[in-house]
Amino acid sequence: MPSIQRIIVPDIPPPVSHYCHVTRAGPHVWVAGVVGRAQDGSIPSDVVAQFDIAIAVMDKCLKAASAGPEHVVKVQVFITDITERQRSTRAASRISGTICRPPLWSR
């Protein structure tokens, strides 16, 4: 069984509960929930700005585990305003290189 490495990333806000930013077990890496909150605790009103912050934090987490965006299998995005879905999907395409179609029920 692989050893489990729990990583607290020093450049991002500390966890608010009993979890760590990143967990690595063998070749597998999990990043804890990442939100678009700025270093000062503020949340930008623009969904793309929030997305950019979240991706930058996720990148720091991946690097802390010696991984990168090319190793990401799944990213789950939650938005509170469905009218922003297209903007957030376009922002996601900048990192994934493709625009994935949303499931039929969300159109």
> Taking 50 as the threshold, does the pLDDT of residue 104 lie above it?
no
Within 10 Å of residue 44's Cβ, how many Cβ atoms? 14
Contacts of 25 (CB under 8 A, 6+ apart): 2, 3, 4, 5
Q: Which domains does the chain have, with CATH numbers?
A: 4-106 (3.30.1330.40)
Which pLDDT does position 23 carry in this prediction?
Answer: 95
> Taking 90 as the threshold, does the pLDDT of residue 75 lie above it?
no
Q: What is the mean pLDDT of the chain?
A: 83
3-state DSSP assignment of residue 93: helix
Contacts of 13 (CB under 8 A, 6+ apart): 37, 39, 41
